[in-house]
């Protein structure tokens, strides 16, 4: 019996066969439990963060399933690798010779966590849109996509700064100072984008139109579908989608047809030369 198990003590690349087997078992068990663990974590997050009536946790699970799966797999691989010495293995692979396993793990941990936050934001967007559909005001229908996009951008920026600071040891204060020095050049390069961004804020504050209004702007007539950071999307009556920069929506004359108190309609009625005045009066009374 002891002789049969002696091969477990054989050392390969700085680790015994027994350690490799334990790592394989940890990974195998983790992959088998992945689905159940993801469901448990999604249920916990749903009950802790959201818990909305008439909304099933299954919808939330489907939204956050992938980032939770990857997070759990990453943790499982991390636990399995902690059982073995990875330095010798990495040195044998010349292309990965200087690779720091802990930094790689931390990098992907931050990436998957940011991904999870973005998915949770998407789910909150669905909740708020459903609530907005029950209100008479169209302003909330316009604000929800805008502010959820803003939140997602802030999450990404904060995530990039966190990764740069903790993984790559970049001095964020010095980076911010450098951005301040080069801010003028960046502003000049992004002048058009900034104008469109400020245009979106003007649209929300001045409210010349809201989502669902029929407008005419720059020879384009259609229904406002959405207002984003850079542009406004207008669905024409030919069913084509026209994207108009927000700067143009602010600077141009916008005719909001939906705000008319009344609408004048013109009809052209043709009659023959033989039609008498009495016949016209008779038909006019009929209609």
User: Would you kindly state where each structural domain of the chain is located, as residue ranges?
Assistant: 6-132, 191-259
23 Cβ contact partners less than 8 Å away, ≥ 6 residues apart: 80, 81, 83, 84
Select the more confidently predicted residue: 95 or 172: 172
pLDDT at residue 268 above 70? yes
Select the more confidently predicted residue: 104 or 194: 104
What's the CATH number for 191-259? 2.30.30.60
**Predicted TM-score (pTM) of this structure:** 0.64
pLDDT (tens digit, 9 = 90+) per residue, 143-154?
787 788 888 888
Asked if 241 contacts 225 with a C-beta cutoff of 8 angstroms, the reply is yes
Q: How confident is the model at residue 21, as a pLDDT? A: 79
Confidence of residue 278 (pLDDT cuts 50, 70, 90): confident
Q: How confident is the model at residue 1, as a pLDDT? A: 45
Our measurement of the distance from residue 68's CA atom to the centroid of its chain's CA atoms, rounded to an integer in Å, reads: 17
Residue 83's φ and ψ, nearest 5 degrees, are -80, -20
d(CA 44, CA 18): 36
Average pLDDT rounded to a whole number, residues 265-286: 72
For the four alpha carbons of 17, 19, 22 and 23, in that order, the dihedral sign comes to negative
Q: How confident is the model at residue 34, as a pLDDT? A: 80
pLDDT (tens digit, 9 = 90+) per residue, 15-38?
667 777 777 888 788 888 887 888
Q: How confident is the model at residue 114, as a pLDDT? A: 92
Q: How confident is the model at residue 8, as a pLDDT? A: 58
d(CA 23, CA 30): 11
Q: How confident is the model at residue 182, as a pLDDT? A: 52
Per-position b or e across 88-99, b if 16+ CB within 10 A of its CB: ebbeeeeeeeee
Q: How confident is the model at residue 3, as a pLDDT? A: 47
d(CA 224, CA 99): 51
Select the more confidently predicted residue: 96 or 174: 174
pLDDT at residue 241 above 80? yes
Radius of gyration over every alpha carbon of the chain, rounded to an integer in angstroms = 31
pLDDT at residue 142 above 50? yes
Per-position b or e across 112-128, b if 16+ CB within 10 A of its CB: bbbbbbbbbeebbbeeb
Select the more confidently predicted residue: 259 or 70: 70
Select the more confidently predicted residue: 59 or 185: 59
Highest mean pLDDT among 5-9, 14-18, 166-170, 183-187: 166-170
84 Cβ contact partners less than 8 Å away, ≥ 6 residues apart: 15, 19, 20, 23
pLDDT at residue 117 above 50? yes
Select the more confidently predicted residue: 52 or 205: 205
pLDDT at residue 250 above 60? yes
The mean pLDDT value of the chain amounts to: 75
Least confident of 53-67, 171-185, 263-277: 171-185
């Amino acid at each position: 019996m002891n002789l049969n198990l002696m091969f477990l003590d054989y050392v390969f690349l700085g680790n015994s066969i027994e350690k490799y087997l334990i790592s394989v078992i940890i990974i195998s068990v983790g992959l088998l439990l992945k689905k159940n663990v993801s469901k448990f974590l999604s249920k916990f997050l749903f009950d802790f963060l959201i818990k909305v009536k008439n909304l099933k946790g299954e919808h939330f699970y489907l939204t956050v399933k992938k980032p939770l799966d990857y997070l759990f797999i990453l943790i499982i691989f991390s636990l399995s690798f902690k059982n073995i010495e990875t330095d010798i293995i990495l040195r044998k692979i010349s292309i990965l010779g200087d690779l720091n396993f802990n930094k790689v793990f931390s990098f992907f941990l931050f990436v998957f966590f940011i991904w999870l936050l973005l998915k949770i934001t998407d789910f909150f967007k669905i909740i708020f849109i459903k609530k907005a559909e029950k209100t008479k005001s169209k302003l909330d229908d316009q604000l929800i996509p805008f502010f959820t996009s803003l939140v997602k951008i802030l999450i990404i920026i904060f995530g990039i700064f966190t990764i740069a600071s903790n993984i790559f040891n970049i001095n964020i204060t010095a980076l911010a100072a450098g951005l301040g020095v080069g801010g003028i050049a960046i502003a000049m390069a992004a002048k058009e984008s900034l104008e469109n961004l400020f245009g979106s804020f003007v649209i929300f504050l001045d409210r010349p139109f809201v989502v669902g209004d029929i407008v005419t702007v720059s020879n384009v007539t259609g229904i406002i579908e959405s207002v984003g950071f850079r542009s406004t999307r207008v669905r024409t009556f030919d069913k084509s989608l026209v994207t108009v920069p927000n700067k143009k929506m602010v600077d141009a004359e916008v005719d909001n047809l939906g705000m008319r108190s009344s609408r004048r309609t013109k009809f052209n009625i043709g009659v023959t030369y033989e039609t008498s005045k009495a016949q016209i009066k008779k038909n006019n009374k009929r209609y």
